[in-house]
Homo-oligomer: A and B are copies of this chain.
Amino acid sequence: MSDNTHDPTNDPMAIRALALACRDAAQAVAALSTDAKDALLHAMADALDADADAILAANVEDLRVAEAKGTGGAMLDRLRLDPARLAGIANALREVAALPDPVGMVTRRETRPNGIAIERVRVPLGVIAMIYEARPNVTADAAALCLKAGNGVILRGGSEAICSNVAIAAALQRALQAHGIAPAAITLVEDLRRETMVELLRLNDIVDLAIPRGGEGLIRFVAEHARVPVIKHYKGVCHLYVDASADPDLALDLLLDGKVARPSACNSLETLLVHVDMAEAFLPRAAAMLRERGVQLRADPRALAHMSGAVPATDDDWDAEFLDLVIAVRVVDSLDAAIDHIRRHGSDHTEVIATRDEAAAARFVHALRSAVVMVNASSRFSDGGELGLGAEIGISTTRLHAYGPMGAESLTIERFVVRGAGQTRNLKHAPAS
């Protein structure tokens, strides 16, 4: 598809026309009532159900191409749809419909001494470009959340999922049309050449925000080429620090949940830091438990002494997002040494302390700048649903606008609405009367 130079959509400038159409449609979306948006989201879910056969057939084609290319198992699994997964995607849209509408929310009110009344009101961002990789569910999820927040969305998924994405987008756009909204409100980019993505990322007069989600290479590419604002969803090198005062059983629970339950998730643990006074009591049990679950242990010399079956950690292991059944383990001399390690090696995503010492917890929270800091709770709660946002478009590691899990509200912006009775700032009298 990306080699078809006869396709008129393969003109890189055509992306500008697509984006302009999306912006026009976004104005109509921004004006929709909450009820209208929620009805639309239900219609989108119903359209996915109705098109299930076509979407699954398209997905089979994507899988066939991927297998022919020798794509590996984890990637194939992310790409694969089946009736249950597709029903889950449709139901996720119905759940987005049930969320509160962030648009129009008045977040603050104030009347100034001169009588002007000021409101801060949430309005949509405008046009959001979503840049992602192989997971076709993102096509529906991102479209739904952007639409809930009154925005237009330009979806640029990976080539591996292009047939699935085209089929899903067709269903969603049919629902838009049935509700009198231009299908461009949910625009799928089918020209997947890099230069077209670069062109999209340079449309800073049209696109209000780009959200890249995927591997390090994709994020770096977007950050390098974008002239539109970018909120990065970068890697999660998440730490569990087991303090000298920790409850060892509680810490083992956090370790097991954080490392083993879903190692491919960005909120899973990659590094375990253990206070030296806790090492002897904690590490042998941790090692036995993790080995039993097939976790590979990479330990610094002091941890190695307490962890049978571990191999020595290399310098690179402290910065690695393994996304697999691997964990790096280090013994630290103090809370401050743990903080220092996380400051050097963390990715600002999620950090956890297990402790019974409130002062230590407070210092850990205060000293670290990560988006999410947990005290005696699993890193796996670093998720929009678990943190009460309802659904998430991703987890921001950019320290601007939104930091951590981003829900529908993060796809809006507060602006000022001021109401007066003719107040002026510098006039000393009413000159006209």
Taking beta carbons and an 8 Å cutoff, which residues of A are in contact with B?
Answer: 30-31, 110, 112, 116, 118, 123, 125-126, 204, 208-209, 223-224, 227, 229-230, 247-250, 252-254, 256-257, 261-262, 285, 289, 361, 365-367, 369-378, 380-382, 386-388, 398-401, 403-405, 413-427, 430-433
Chain B residues with CB under 8 Å of A224's CB are 227
Cα-based distance from A381 to B399 in the complex (angstroms): 30
Chain B residues with CB under 8 Å of A252's CB are 431-432
Q: B400 touching A250 by the CB < 8 A rule?
A: no
Interface pairs (5), CB distance under 8 Å? A31-B367, A229-B230, A371-B416, A377-B423, A403-B413
Chain B residues with CB under 8 Å of A381's CB are 116, 418, 420, 423, 425
* Nearest CB of chain B from residue A146's CB, rounded to whole Å: 14
A286's closest neighbor in chain B, by CB? B432
Cα-based distance from A422 to B354 in the complex (angstroms): 8
Query: Interface SS of chain A: helix, strand, loop or mixed?
Result: mixed
Identical chains in the assembly? 2
Cα-based distance from A223 to B126 in the complex (angstroms): 19
Q: A399 touching B256 by the CB < 8 A rule?
A: no
* Nearest CB of chain B from residue A192's CB, rounded to whole Å: 24
**Contact A425 to B227, CB < 8 A, known contacts A110-B388, A289-B432, A432-B249:** no
Chain B residues with CB under 8 Å of A262's CB are 426
* Nearest CB of chain B from residue A98's CB, rounded to whole Å: 16
Chain B residues with CB under 8 Å of A419's CB are 361, 374-377
Cα-based distance from A51 to B99 in the complex (angstroms): 57
Q: A415 touching B377 by the CB < 8 A rule?
A: no
Q: A373 touching B417 by the CB < 8 A rule?
A: yes
Q: B369 touching A425 by the CB < 8 A rule?
A: no
Q: A365 touching B401 by the CB < 8 A rule?
A: no
Q: B372 touching A418 by the CB < 8 A rule?
A: yes
Cα-based distance from A399 to B411 in the complex (angstroms): 10
Select which of B250, B398, B415 is within 8 A of A403 by beta carbon. Answer: B415
Q: A422 touching B253 by the CB < 8 A rule?
A: yes
A250's closest neighbor in chain B, by CB? B422
Cα-based distance from A249 to B262 in the complex (angstroms): 67
Q: B227 touching A223 by the CB < 8 A rule?
A: yes
Select which of B208, B253, B380 is within 8 A of A432 by beta carbon. Answer: B253
**Contact A380 to B425, CB < 8 A, known contacts A365-B417, A375-B418:** yes
Q: B257 touching A289 by the CB < 8 A rule?
A: no
Cα-based distance from A151 to B51 in the complex (angstroms): 52
Q: B427 touching A388 by the CB < 8 A rule?
A: no
Q: B125 touching A420 by the CB < 8 A rule?
A: no
**Contact A208 to B413, CB < 8 A, known contacts A253-B427, A381-B418:** no
Q: B387 touching A418 by the CB < 8 A rule?
A: yes
Chain B residues with CB under 8 Å of A118's CB are 387-388
Chain B residues with CB under 8 Å of A208's CB are 399-400
Chain B residues with CB under 8 Å of A372's CB are 415-418
